[in-house]
Amino acid sequence: MTVVLSRLLSRLLWSRGWAAPVLVVSFVFATSWPLMALAEPAGSELVQAGNYWWYFVVTASTVGYGGFSPRTAAGHVVGAYVIVGGIVTLTTVFARLAAALETMKGRRMQGLERVR
């Protein structure tokens, strides 16, 4: 599974246009987890690896299921950082998808792609 994920990440990172979202989400995750560990009280369930990954995905995508949440004010600040990082990542992903669709449409309109 790790090999599959690393290959997928390397393909996304080196393919044109996908590097920004991958780098943003990686940077936000890599910086927010230690910050949350510092902000939350010792023994907090939130900073455990599996729990933090879930919290990060749910918070960054702004779904907000609420299964885990920070208890301290500093933890709330880190949570806001994750939300902003998630919004930036989703914005870059959607912009990249829109550009890819526009490129495909343009190639079809110019007759460079076969229409099936």
- Please state the rounded mean pLDDT for residues 50-74: 87
Task: Report the chain's terminal Cα–Cα distance, integer Å.
Answer: 35
- Residue 45 pLDDT: 92
Instruction: Assess contact for 40 and 72: CB atoms under 8 A.
Output: yes
As a whole number, the mean pLDDT across the chain is: 83
The model carries a pTM of 0.69
Domains delineated in the chain: 2-109 (1.10.287.70)
Confidence (pLDDT) at 76: 93
Band of residue 5 on the pLDDT scale cut at 50, 70, 90: low
* Tens digits of residue pLDDT in 16-48: 677 778 888 889 999 999 999 999 998 899 999
| Nearest 10 degrees: Cα torsion 55, 87, 9, 2 | 10
Q: What are phi and psi of 23, to 5 degrees?
A: -65, -40
Sign of torsion, CA 82 66 58 52? Answer: positive
Tell the residue number behind the tokens 């910050």, with chain if given.
35
